[in-house]
Amino acid sequence: MSSAATGFSEQTTAAITRARRHSTGDLLHRTALRYPDKLAVVDAGARWTFAEFDAAVNRCAAALAGHGLVKGDRLALMSHNCRQFGVLTFATARLGVVLVPVNFMLGPEEIAYILDHSGAKAFVVEDTLAAVAEKALARSADPATIRGWIGLSGQAPTGDWIDADGWIDGEGDPGEPDVHVGDDDPLRLMYTSGTESRPKGVMLPSRSLITQYVSCIVDGGMTHDDVELHPLPMYHCAQLDCFFSVDVYLGATSIILPGPDPATVLATIEREKVTKLFCPPTVWIALLRHPDFDSTDLSSLRKGYYGAAAMPVEVLQELSRRLPDVSLWNFYGQTEMSPLATILRPEEQIERAGSAGRASLNCETRVVNEQGEQVPPGEVGEIVHRSPHAALGYYNDEAKTAEAFAGGWFHSGDLGVMTEDGYLSVVDRKKDMIKTGGENVASREVEEAVYLLEGVGEVAVFGVSHPHWIEAVTAVVVPKQGVTLSEEQVHAHTREKLAGYKRPKYVVFADALPKNPSGKILKRELRTEHADIAKDG
């Protein structure tokens, strides 16, 4: 709001702007005013109320400001899930400091790139990750000068590291910092996976995040009395911004786990009476296959969410049978959408199995051709979105930003099909489409067919270089525990289900599929591992 547009003085305009503030950093404080004594966070024995959580955030913000961090500075954070991660998320937001979550699976060179590209002034790491962090700092052109460690194992790193728990723990509440954070001030710099090139830094402001939270709440059936388990990495925007931050906004209770170990997830649901759980399909499959699944009391669970990859229809039906009282939602989107774009709701799961649903509350979704023109229902094209969820762009990369936002729509890089009534089906990532013998094959379609074979636990389908077919359809299959399958069984099954050019030319069996901490199958690793399979016969 400008003084020229309203006819008000700058002083009055500033006062109105301050009164109307609604940034990500405000959300926890307002929840703490509504529910001061309500349980907010459970983590490794700690049980914080919202008032205690809010005070910890204020102490941390004051400590970061005391170290010289100001609005616009970058703080990189590399840690497994913990309450400290949540504190730093909201403490940086209150200061207008840009949080840069870092994937803890990365190596020193990859971490150094993110530190340098983001211009991180501070770097906070989990104690067990300090060694790899030091290697990254040694490779950095302009290493962060403020270095904090989070004590999850009790092994304090040596050198110039500050105990970040000291910023958080203690008595008293210094109050909220007096910093104005605008709707479109960047508060988060999320680095993409970088499967084809260097990772890109996605800039997310309060406006993108909060409008996305509202879409999650309304279309995802979320309420303040949820008790949610958070086992997937909080460095990823799905767990952090579709679920944890939404719970803080609503006043729901968050149970934090360092990772998605199936036995621990099941035991925690029973112990804490968890009502709500998000997992990618791979983790839901791991839970279903765990020997404790049927003997664990999961009766408290009422809401289940999946995303990050397509849920095989057979697994969806199994979940419905074995957890009949759990309502399921499919969330589809990506980091650049903060990350939600479309939702498939509980009443649509069976009738629309395999669909990504319809555009969420604050989103508009289309399928377009190479010229950016909307294609007719049933025709394959690129999925694009128009929404306040959308990011501000890629940090320091105007060319890629202009390409991604061409025509005033965000271009997802996913291929999809839309029905006449607006239901979206994701066909494949552009890079995962297999081009074999002059035909396009969607890896997901082949995976769905293989999953119909009894005894298949997991499957990943991808293309490998072939001297005749250019690319050959290849399937890596993980049988269910105690089941033995043969290549001929898979070939015979797919002969009944798929056209000849879509059927796997090669079938490989494995004990497990490579996955990142978010549960996504790493097809790039499978392509590399089996790159020479055509030469081998």
Domain locations in the chain? 46-181, 207-430, 433-529
DSSP per residue, 135-157: HHHHH-SS--SEEEEE-SSS-PP
Q: Report yes or no: 417 and 444 within 8 Å, Cβ to Cβ.
A: no
**Of 48-62, 142-156, 345-359, 455-469, where does mean pLDDT reach its minimum?**
455-469
Q: Which helix (H) or strand (E) holds 100?
A: strand 98-101
Q: Which helix (H) or strand (E) holds 27?
A: helix 24-34
pLDDT of 119 higher than 90: yes
Residue 189: per-residue pLDDT:
98
**Of 102-106, 117-121, 303-307, 310-314, where does mean pLDDT reach its minimum?**
310-314
Catalogue the E-assigned strands of 50-97. 74-78
Cα–Cα distance for residue pair 375/368, rounded to 1 Å? 5
Give the pLDDT band of residue 194 (cuts 50, 70, 90): low
Among residues of the chain, what percentage have pLDDT more than 90?
A: 77
Q: Report yes or no: 108 and 135 within 8 Å, Cβ to Cβ.
A: yes
Give the pLDDT band of residue 485 (cuts 50, 70, 90): very high
Q: Which residues 6+ apart lie within 8 Å of 291 measured at CB?
A: none
pLDDT of 311 higher than 90: no
Cα–Cα distance for residue pair 505/501, rounded to 1 Å? 9
41 φ/ψ angles, rounded to the nearest 5 degrees: -140, 135
The vertex-64 CA angle with 61 and 67, nearest 5°, equals 150
Chain mean pLDDT for the chain: 93
Q: At what angle do helices 83-95 and 24-34 cross, to 10 degrees?
A: 120
Q: Which residues of 386-398 are buried (b: 16+ CB within 10 A; e: fewer)?
A: bbbbbbbbbbeee
Q: Pick the residue with more confidence: 524 or 277?
A: 277
pLDDT of 466 higher than 90: no
Q: Which helix (H) or strand (E) holds 319?
A: helix 313-322
Cα–Cα distance for residue pair 92/77, rounded to 1 Å? 11
Residues in the chain: 537
Q: Tell me the β-bridge partners of 428.
A: 415
| 46-181 and 433-529, same CATH topology | no
pLDDT of 396 higher than 90: yes
Cα–Cα distance for residue pair 410/122, rounded to 1 Å? 31
Q: What are the Cα distances from residue 381, in Å, to 49, 252, 303, 376, 444?
A: 48, 39, 32, 9, 16
Domain covering 46-181 in this structure, CATH number: 3.40.50.980
Over residues 57-75, the mean pLDDT reads 98
Residue 195: per-residue pLDDT:
44
What distance lies between CA 454 and its chain's CA centroid? 31
pLDDT of 506 higher than 80: yes
Q: What are the Cα distances from residue 234, in Å, to 64, 88, 103, 237?
A: 21, 12, 9, 7
Q: Return the CATH architecture of domain 433-529.
A: 2-Layer Sandwich (3.30)
The vertex-144 CA angle with 81 and 127, nearest 5°, equals 35
Over residues 337-347, the mean pLDDT reads 97
Q: Pick the residue with more confidence: 197 or 356?
A: 356
Give the pLDDT band of residue 156 (cuts 50, 70, 90): confident
Q: Report yes or no: 101 and 244 within 8 Å, Cβ to Cβ.
A: no
Give the pLDDT band of residue 196 (cuts 50, 70, 90): very low
Domain covering 207-430 in this structure, CATH number: 3.40.50.12780
pLDDT 10s digits, 14-31: 899 899 999 999 999 999
Give the pLDDT band of residue 534 (cuts 50, 70, 90): confident
pLDDT of 430 higher than 90: no
Give the pLDDT band of residue 193 (cuts 50, 70, 90): low
Residue 88: per-residue pLDDT:
98
